[in-house]
Chains A and B, each alone.
Chain A
């Protein structure tokens, strides 16, 4: 579970905070999606949630404790991160990449044990990509990489997972495949998930809560249908949009011209 109270953050040299007085709670089994234009503080929020950056004021609680007050290895046992745009410098095997998720559980002078390998292998199996274990990570597809990185979070055994734009480099089909498997995982394992997305339609399909950031404080938050509205999107993105509905689905479309 992740709880955020009165969280504000101002970039160095800026007068106004990028977000101000954020309040939210995400519970096990829930997905919260963070939407907002580039530069609206989505990635910054993640840095505050993992305790890497110090907010101006307010607090973050991971299962009741502040990440700023614990060593990195303890933070990593509570919250795992799928980074955006991941490019290791060497052609590690998929298994080696997943095993790095065990770093918080392995001492500085030790190497992964049989148990660590087992956990990593199970994580790959959970994501349905155990067949990739011996392939070079640099040679698998973007969709497969996301699955492997999510498997790494599972190997880390953290109850909360943050995903920074998990769909940004994926094709139409893989976006849906990856988000569907996150959805299933959250239900099965009672994980807490917060992810950044750019596409409001994917947010409508896959989230329990939406936080809409404008870069000038919070714009809106709550259930997806209440946050992703014509007025809110127009206010935040400065773009005319239209809602289309049919077959029980709703979709946002930009209005051209």
Chain B
């Protein structure tokens, strides 16, 4: 009984714990006590820390925005993963596999390279929603979407948009190319408060809708016909959920680049612990997504003397996880 209550509580509180560690652990070591003092003075206005301390700038202007941004992106990718897995009745899809991320990447690259007038966020959102509907349309057969075709069409859409990104990379001028390439690897190294602000609008709005509609996913995941018989306007609800997921993912990708596998791994792990009821699953997956992303990013910062792109860390852990899922019993993961 203790265990049943303790583990969910641990997941819920984990973003704070990991965030706190990430604040003082880094290339420039800051004493935990000093971190606490800085946070107290900045947030609560208690005590004063000298304005010219380098630690103040490192903690408040570099590490904290980076941690907040990583949390937002992790929560967004994880919430989108939960939603897409529920809507498509498929535990193997995530924003990355379904092509949303690749679509958003193309939107961002297009905006950076050739259309500076189009805000990166908007462009990322538009192309991620285009990508998800192409993948969905390709997989739809006689009104129902089966699991394997959906994963395959996601692969096709991903490959297509990745190819489009390659064309852009080929055409763009070399100065912009470097920033596009680095950004595609997925990284939080350029995080600052303005990036946090930019991401929080889309992630907040999309995430709020996904959070509020989470119980619907239980009924929607029963399949289109059954959901209609239960009284659900399937087309409208599905459109709303996919659009909200795309908004959250598009906003996340526009500040962090492509970070794969989070939306697949985190919902799976949390489902194993919390159970499949989306009413519980969604908030815990959001918290765990934030934790995982901050954790992975802190590793990326500290593992080597370089600031490794965090996308490399998630991909390195995600690929074996996917293989594990595939082997774990075809019935459970692939189903029918």
Contact = CB atoms under 8 A, between A and B. Distances in A.
Contact of A89 (B89, B219, B277): B89
Residue of A77, A100, A101 contacting most chain B CB atoms (<10 Å): A100
B333 to A, nearest CB: 10
Contacts of A101: 230
Contacts of A112: 215, 279
Contact of A108 (B86, B216, B275): B216
Interface string B70-92: 00000000000000001001110
B226 A103 contact: no
Contact of B279 (A75, A88, A111): A111
Contacts of A80: 229
Nearest to A95: B277
Interface residues on A, range: 20 to 34
A78 to B, nearest CB: 10
A90 B221 contact: yes
Interface string A70-101: 01111111001101001111111100100111
Contacts of B225: 52, 83
Given A89-B90, A89-B221, A77 B231 contact: yes
A96 B89 CA distance: 16
B229 A96 contact: no
Interface in B190-223: 212-216, 218-219, 221-222
B232 A88 contact: no
Interface string B129-161: 000000000000000000100000000000000
Contacts, number: 86
A101 to B, nearest CB: 7
B318 interface: no
B226 A86 contact: yes
A104 interface: yes
B221 A83 contact: no
B232 A99 contact: no
Contact of B233 (A72, A87, A92): A72
Contacts of A83: 225-226, 229
Interface string A23-41: 0000000000000000000
Contact of B230 (A52, A76, A92, A110): A76
Given A86-B226, A89-B221, A90-B91, A72 B215 contact: no
Residue of B147, B230, B232, B233 contacting most chain A CB atoms (<10 Å): B230
Contacts of B275: 91, 93
Contacts of A75: 231
Given A72-B234, A103-B216, 11 more contacts: A76-B232, A89-B89, A90-B221, A100-B218, A103-B227, A103-B231, A103-B232, A106-B215, A108-B213, A112-B279, A156-B230
29 contacts: A50-B228, A52-B225, A52-B228, A72-B232, A72-B233, A74-B231, A75-B231, A76-B230, A77-B231, A81-B226, A83-B229, A86-B226, A89-B89, A89-B147, A90-B91, A90-B221, A90-B276, A92-B276, A93-B275, A100-B218, A100-B219, A104-B230, A105-B231, A108-B213, A111-B215, A111-B279, A112-B215, A156-B230, A156-B231
